[in-house]
């Protein structure tokens, strides 16, 4: 009997799929497993289905019979990919399962920044009808948006932006999307964009991709949206750009350290609209990720794993596209 460790709560349909096969021992943690619980569960594990718990070499090495790590989502920065690669253990992802949810969340943050949603909400609750004359809001139509990372999410975001009548610049990737102007020089593209939206995975090459120098290249009064990973943007540099007014607004679903502290400097700024890494967390997306990650485990144990489900562990450049959970 193969042991499957599910590190955190997943949609019931995914668990039912794992348990329905009948030939597996499923250890599912709800609430998420503690480090002590993980150390106890790993020996004898053939498969680990993981959401966000860090899976380093210290834990993975406790499972000599491990044959698969199945990511509930797409971003694998919480998994020691080098360790898995060295052992020949495939790391699978749920390609496309959460892409629509994240793309819609990105547009939500974009619109919220353009319309100063949190400030408008506060004004309405305070009965400040004079705020109507000082909203500072702008329309998306006719604006230029730069999509950094034309992977699955980035391509959907680009299409949605084109539907709003925006001029769309795409950096990284060459998958055809109608209405997108592809640009190779990131600095040049940043200087043209009213809104910049980030959709690259977190790798050594993309950590700090949007640093002080690149923020300085952005148009004064531009908006930055990040639904990728917090580490893609240099947070101290972001704070400086926001406090100086060079960057008008930040809409972010992600932070360099999560869960984010209530006293995080970014959250003190009224020009920041934040969500708690919920871009992928719709009911539809949660079910799709649970079912797909469970199916990847079962397919691997049965010797029929689809190679296209395996995460590409090759180093990525800063210009390559990607998606995140």
Active site residues: 229, 258, 277
Across the beta sheet with 91-92, the strand order is 24-28, 2-6, 45-50, 68-71, 91-92
The string over 22-42, giving b where at least 16 C-beta atoms fall within 10 Å of a residue's C-beta and e elsewhere, is eebebbbbeeebeeeebeebb
Joined together, the tokens standing for residue 111 give 């619109």
Rounded to the nearest 5°, which phi and psi values hold at 233?
-110, 140
CB count within 10 Å of CB 177 equals 20
> Which of 175, 238, 183 lies closest to 209, judged by CA?
238
Across the beta sheet with 272-274, the strand order is 180-182, 167-171, 144-148, 195-198, 222-226, 247-252, 272-274
Give 139's contacts (C-beta < 8 A, 6+ positions apart). Answer: 114
- Local structure of residue 311 (DSSP, 8 states): -
């Amino acid at each position: 009997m193969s042991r499957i460790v599910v590190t955190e709560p997943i949609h019931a349909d995914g668990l039912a799929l794992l348990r329905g096969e009948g030939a597996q021992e499923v250890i599912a943690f709800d609430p998420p497993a503690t480090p002590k619980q993980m150390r106890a569960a790993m020996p004898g594990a053939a498969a680990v289905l993981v959401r966000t718990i860090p899976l380093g070499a210290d834990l993975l090495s406790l499972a000599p019979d491990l044959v698969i790590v199945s990511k509930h989502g797409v971003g694998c920065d919480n998994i020691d990919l080098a360790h898995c690669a060295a052992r020949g253990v495939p790391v699978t992802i749920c390609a496309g399962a959460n892409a629509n949810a994240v793309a819609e969340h990105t547009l939500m943050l974009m619109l919220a920044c353009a319309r100063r949603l949190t400030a408008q909400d506060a004004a309405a609750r305070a009965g400040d009808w004079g705020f109507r004359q000082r909203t500072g809001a702008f329309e998306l139509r006719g604006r230029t948006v730069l999509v950094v990372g034309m992977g699955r999410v980035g391509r959907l975001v680009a299409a949605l932006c084109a539907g709003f009548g925006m001029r769309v610049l795409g950096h990284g990737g060459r998958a055809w999307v109608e209405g997108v102007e592809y640009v190779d020089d990131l600095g040049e593209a940043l200087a043209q964009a009213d809104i910049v939206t980030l959709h690259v995975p977190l790798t050594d090459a993309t950590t700090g991709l949007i640093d002080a120098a690149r923020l300085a290249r952005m148009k004064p009064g531009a908006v930055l949206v990040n639904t990728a990973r917090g580490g893609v943007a240099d947070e101290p540099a972001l704070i400086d750009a926001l406090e100086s007014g060079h960057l008008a607004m930040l809409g972010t679903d992600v932070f360099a350290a999560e869960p984010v502290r209530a006293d995080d400097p970014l959250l003190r700024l009224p020009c920041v609209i934040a969500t708690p890494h919920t871009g992928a967390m719709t009911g539809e997306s949660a079910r799709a990720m649970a079912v797909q990650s469970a199916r990847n485990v079962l397919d691997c144990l049965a010797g029929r794993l689809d190679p296209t489900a395996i995460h590409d562990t090759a180093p990525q450049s800063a210009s390559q596209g990607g998606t995140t959970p």
